[in-house]
Structure 1
Amino acid sequence: MSDDLTSRKCTPCQGGIPPLGKDEAEALLAQAPGWLLAGSGKRLERSFLFKNFREAFDFVVAVGELAETQGHHPDISFGWGWATVSWQTKKIKGLHENDFIMAAKTSALAESHHP
């Protein structure tokens, strides 16, 4: 894929399609540094560190707002100085290109919250 994942938008996933295979997921993972395949390759996950609770909270809010604009929603856990974000396309019980797009956008948000 020649274009940057952060410049792409999620496309609606109606289900009924197979999740990405291991090779496809690993190829896209190369474009999302810092993210890991988790849950037997069925989700993307990354933890982020912040200086305090407020920075972590602001990041989580920004990820939530991004998710709403893109129509694709993660699982997020956070606390004092940290946040963990997990992307998966629940309709297909696995990974879709949308998950990698959102992972790249999430990383960009993290950089803007603490360059």
Structure 2
Amino acid sequence: MSDLAKENCIPCRGGVPPLPREEAEALLRELAGWRLNADATQIARDFKFPDFATTLAFIVHIGATAEGAGHHPDIAFGWGYATIALHTHAIGGLQRADFVLAAKIDALPLAKSAG
């Protein structure tokens, strides 16, 4: 488990700049399977599952984790797949909380079995 997963998400209310690309890339190295978009404003990861029921169970766990953290991802999912994208809506970019939530998602039991 990443040390990031042990941190609490600190909600961003706006008024702060997004992380510079260099900081985002450094935090990304602490996560497996996540990618940074071209303009360094979002991270995302694809997860694969054997069926729809497992995918849905994973999404439900992400929802509970995100709600508990007060930080909410964009989620696309269907039969056997889920794509999770994170950024801080209030600033249109990335903050440390995005990487913390990504690590918390990675720590979920179903994430460990995802391809």
Number of aligned residue pairs: 111
Q: Does 2:41 align with 1:42?
A: yes
1:59, 1:99 → 2: CA distance? 18
Match of 1:7 in 2: 6
Match of 1:23 in 2: 22
Match of 1:79 in 2: 78
Match of 1:54 in 2: 53
Extract structure 1 runs of 4+ deviating beyond 2 A.
Answer: none
Identity fraction in percent = 46
2:73, 2:38 → 1: CA distance? 14
2:47, 2:67 → 1: CA distance? 20
1:63, 1:38 → 2: CA distance? 21
Normalising by structure 1, what TM-score? 0.92
Normalising by structure 2, what TM-score? 0.92
Match of 2:67 in 1: 68
1:76, 1:24 → 2: CA distance? 24
2:18, 2:45 → 1: CA distance? 20
The one-letter amino acid paired with 1:13 is C
Q: CA RMSD in A?
A: 1.2
Unaligned runs of 5+ in 1: none
Unaligned runs of 5+ in 2: none
